[in-house]
Amino acid sequence: MSNNHNKSQSSGKVTYGDSSISNPGFDPREIQMNEQGQLIDKKGNVIHIETKGQKNNKSNARKMRNLQRRQQFKQKKFKNNSEFYDPDLEDNASKRRNRRKIMGLHFSEPGSHIKRAEMIRNRQMSKKEEEKKTEAPPPPTETKIDAKAELLRRIDKLKPLDPLPDVEWWDAKLLPEGVKTFSVGDPNKEGFKITEEDFNSSKCTNLIHHPIPTKNPCVEAIRGKTKILLTDKEKKRLKKLRKAEKVKEIHEKIHLGLVPAPEPRLKMSSFMRAVTAQAVADPTKVEREVRRQEKERQQKHIEHNEKRKLTKAQRVEKFKAKMERDAKKETWTAVFKVHTLTDPKHKFKVDMNAQQLYLNGCLISTDNLSAQGGMHFPNLVVVEGGRVAVRKYKRLLLRRIKWVKKEGSDSEEDSEDEAQKKLDLVSTERCALIWEGPLMEGFFDKWKVVEIENEHEALRTLNERGCEHYWSNMLSHKIE
């Protein structure tokens, strides 16, 4: 106990309640330990021991030296007048002294960078405001003064407006008969001529006139342009993707057991690989089965095509809808000159094809005029409709119909008179296109054939439709 007592005196100070254990009359044998592990004296008072580190220990001395060095470095002021000096070097130098701090993570406080950015932004705004205050206001420009003077000069030149009428034209019906003016004001004044009771109230009703709404052609044109046009390569790709999706759905249904799996598709070129065991055992039976499947597939294909085939009435309706849809896009017209239509087959083709293509226009036939011995005039054909229909009709007249029949031989035995007759026949029975192009609005609303007996009837027929210039153009046109 005596040794321990000496160590406690040398290492620190022991307090006994309000008194110190270093009292010379203190007996260390009186110290005991209670149930809580605290030191108590004989009377039960708790003894507190306060220890302080010795300054002569090497570890304590090293800590003190390091602490003094850090304090001295913080107090040291780095003075450098160079413009390339970086003030962050001081903090980096202090961080290098502590390796553990450098290797650790350094977290920024939330919102620190935002606060810093706001401070910089406010500083820049304040600088701009100060610069604006210090800047002198710009001198007044002469252009503004000139513009104002020019405006005043133009106002002076304006014609004075007419005085306001007593009654507007739309209110004149409300006045009594014989009264054309009135003044609004106090009835006691001289200017007031009529009262509210004198108004013709029978013209006032509770009906409201609503104008008929019309379609905006610009909107319809824009809607028509929104259609996406795809190339042939893109169409093939989309078709391939749609087909792959259908096949995938069928495979999924087979895997789930919703649809039974189809039989293997056997062909004569591959049945040996598909059913090798059965083919080796009985090749005749397998071949018969393959023939049956091929015939069944062919019959199924034919039935499917027959089922999809349209009837005659459906084909006519489909073609008519196609021609009408093409005619709505653009009105295309073509004017033809046919020298003669003496052949009834040619005349029938010209008439019937125009009806089948749902074209509007007319055929002015001059065969009766020529038969009566009058002056010969060529036949005029005018067609209006869709661009596709007009193109088909144009091909009919210029290419499909053979206006000149090939009769006889071209041998040298033919006389000169017969050769001349053939040349005349070729030159007189040809068909030519006078004009072709689009129109804002067509002149005809249906197709008809007109037989004329003189030129005045032809002009009257065309004049009713407002296209008499077609006749003069036909007469002046020369077939080459």
The CATH architecture that domain 315-403+420-476 belongs to is: 2-Layer Sandwich (3.30)
d(CA 76, CA 79): 9
8: Cβ contacts below 8 Å, ≥ 6 apart: 14, 21, 49
Average pLDDT of the chain to the nearest whole number: 77
Q: Where are the domains of the chain?
A: 1-77, 236-308, 315-403+420-476
- By CB neighbour count within 10 A (0-12 exposed, 13-18 middle, 19+ buried), where does 335 fall? buried
Distances (CA, A) of 352 to 315, 333, 389: 18, 18, 13
**Lookup result for tokens 């077609």:** 470
pLDDT at 171: 78
Lookup: tokens for 453: 């007996």
pTM beyond cutoff 0.85: no
26: Cβ contacts below 8 Å, ≥ 6 apart: 16
pLDDT at 307: 92
Q: How is the chain split among helix, strand and coil, in percent rounded to 5?
A: 50, 10, 40
Give DSSP secondary structure letters for 145-198. HHHHHHHHHHHHHSPPPPPPPSS-TTTGGGSPTT------S-TTSTT----GGG
pLDDT per residue of the chain (480 residues) written in tens, 0 to 9: 444 444 444 444 444 444 444 455 556 667 788 877 788 887 778 877 655 554 456 777 888 888 888 777 666 544 455 566 566 655 555 556 555 555 656 778 888 889 999 999 999 999 988 888 887 666 655 544 567 777 777 777 777 777 777 777 777 777 777 766 655 544 554 544 566 677 777 777 777 777 787 877 666 655 655 668 899 999 999 999 999 999 999 999 999 999 998 888 888 888 888 888 887 788 888 889 899 999 999 999 999 999 999 999 999 999 999 999 999 988 999 999 998 888 899 999 999 999 999 999 999 988 777 655 556 788 999 999 999 999 999 999 999 998 876 555 444 445 666 655 555 555 445 889 999 999 988 899 999 999 988 888 889 999 998 898 999 998 888 765
d(CA 115, CA 112): 5
Lookup: tokens for 87: 């003030």
pLDDT at 180: 63
446: Cβ contacts below 8 Å, ≥ 6 apart: 360
pLDDT at 16: 47
Give DSSP secondary structure letters for 37-86. S-EE-TT-PBEEEEE---TTSHHHHHHHHHHHHHHHHHH-------TT--
Strand, helix or coil for residue 283: helix
- 63-92: b (≥16 Cβ within 10 Å) or e: eeeeeeeeeeeeeeeeeeeeeeeeeeeeee
- By CB neighbour count within 10 A (0-12 exposed, 13-18 middle, 19+ buried), where does 112 fall? exposed
pLDDT at 377: 84
How far is residue 67 CA from its own chain's centroid? 72
pLDDT digits (tens, 9 = 90+) for 420-429: 555 555 544 5
pLDDT at 20: 44
pLDDT at 311: 92
d(CA 377, CA 417): 25
- Tell me the percentage of the chain whose pLDDT exceeds 70: 69
d(CA 186, CA 182): 12
pLDDT at 317: 93
Under DSSP, the state recorded for 261 is: P
